[in-house]
Amino acid sequence: MMEGTISNQIRFLRFRNREMSQAELGLRVGVTRQTIAAIEAGKYSPSLDTAFRIAQVFNVPLGEVFQWNSGANPGANPGPAS
């Protein structure tokens, strides 16, 4: 199984968009403020549907909101391909 974590830029995007509150984002997406807080803190991964709705609120591609960080050592150099 591929290991890794999902990070997000929700807090940055909220503040770039009129300092939108978690509650306002939740209303616009259709989830609670607590759900937005948990997603933002990395304690909960949203459904694909919710992830797309969050990106739509900010009018950005999904990849600008959420990023996949693989379990590989970021400083490791894999070397040349064989």
Alpha-carbon span 54 to 61, nearest angstrom: 10
Q: Does position 79 have pLDDT exceeding 70, yes or no? A: no
Fold of 4-63: 434 Repressor (Amino-terminal Domain) (1.10.260)
In 3D space, the residue among 76, 48, 42, 67 whose CA is nearest the CA of residue 56 turns out to be 48
Q: What is the pLDDT of residues 42-73, one digit of tens each?
A: 999 999 999 999 999 999 999 999 999 998 55
CA distance 33 to 20: 12
Query: For 28-32, 35-39, 52-56, 77-81, which range has the lowest pLDDT when averaged over its residues?
Result: 77-81
Mean pLDDT, the chain, as a whole number? 89
Quick one: which H or E segment has residue 16?
helix 10-16
Contact by Cβ (8 Å): 73, 82: no
